[in-house]
Amino acid sequence: MLLLVMIVTGFRGHTDDYPKDFFRSPLDIPLVMAGNFAEMRANHFHSGLDLKTKNREGLPVYAAADGWVSRVKVSPYGYGNVLYVSHPNGYTTVYAHLQGFSQEISDYVRTKQYASNQFEIDKYLSKGAFPITKGDVIAASGNSGGSFGPHLHFEIRSSKSQMPLNPLLFGLQITDTVAPKIFRIKIYPQDSDGYVEVYRSGSKTPVLATREMPIVVDAVTNDPAGKNYQLSNVDKLLAHGRVGFGIQVHDYHNGSRNRLGAYTILLESDEAMLFQSELAKFTFGQTRYINAHVDYGEYREHKRWIQRSHRLPGNALDIYAGANNGFLLVEPGSSHELQYVIADAAGNRSTLSFQLLGVQDPVVAPRIRADPSYRVIREESKTIAGDKMRVHFRSNTFYEDIDFVYSVSDPRPDSYSPVYALHNSSTPLHRSMTLSIQADGLPEQLRPKALMATVSDDGKLSSAGGSYRDGFVVAKPRSFGNYTIAVDTVAPALESWRFPKDGQFSKGETIQFKVNDEFSGIRSYAGFVDSKWVLFEYDAKKNLLSHHIDGVLESGLRKLVLRVEDGKGNVTTVARSVTISD
Which residues lie near Zn ion (CB under 5 A)? 50, 153
CB of 149 to Zn ion, least distance (A): 11
CA count, 13 A, side-chain hemisphere, 394: 9
The answer to whether 421 and 409 have CB atoms below 8 angstroms apart is: yes
Task: Give the nearest distance from C-beta 284 to Zn ion in angstroms.
Answer: 14
Cβ distance to Zn ion smaller for residue 153 or 423: 153
**Rounded CA separation 485/465 (Å):** 10
Nearest position to Zn ion, beta carbon = 153
* Cβ distance to Zn ion smaller for residue 71 or 200: 71
Angle at 560 between CA 558 and CA 564, to 5 degrees: 170
C-beta of 153 vs 253, nearer to Zn ion: 153
Dihedral, CA of residue 23, residue 28, residue 32 and residue 38, to nearest 10:
-30
Smallest gap, in angstroms, from Cβ of residue 499 to Zn ion? Answer: 34
DSSP result, 56-88: -S--EEE-SSSEEEEEEEE-SSTTSEEEEEE-T
Handedness of CA 117, 118, 119, 122 (dihedral sign): negative
In the complex, least distance from residue 117 CB atom to Zn ion, rounded to whole angstroms: 30
Q: Long-range contacts for 52-58 (Cβ within 8 Å, ≥24 apart)?
A: 52/151, 52/256, 53/27, 53/29, 53/141, 53/150, 53/151, 53/152, 54/29, 55/149, 55/150, 56/150, 57/99, 57/140, 57/141, 57/142, 57/143, 57/150, 58/99, 58/140, 58/141, 58/142
- Give least dist CB 154 to Zn ion, A: 8
Looking at beta carbons only, is 50 or 344 nearer to Zn ion?
50
Let me know: does 41 contact 34? Beta carbons within 8 Å: no
Of residues 142 and 567, the one with the C-beta less far from Zn ion: 142
Residue nearer to Zn ion on the CB measure, 153 or 157? 153
CB 137, min distance to Zn ion, A: 21
CA 482 to CA 324: how far, in whole Å?
A: 37
Closest approach of Cβ 46 to Zn ion, in Å? Answer: 6
Minimum distance between the CB of residue 429 and Zn ion, rounded to whole angstroms? Answer: 24
Q: How many residues does the chain have?
A: 582
SS3 339: strand
Q: Which helix (H) or strand (E) holds 577?
A: strand 571-581
- d(Cα 303, Cα 314) in Å, to the nearest integer? 23
Task: Identify which of residues 46 and 311 has a Cβ nearer to Zn ion in the complex.
Answer: 46
Q: What is the CA radius of gyration of the chain?
A: 28
Cβ 80 to Zn ion, closest distance in Å? 11
Q: Which C-beta is closer to Zn ion: that of 251 or that of 517? A: 251
Distance CA 506, CA 509 (A): 6
**Cβ-based nearer residue to Zn ion, 51 or 451:** 51
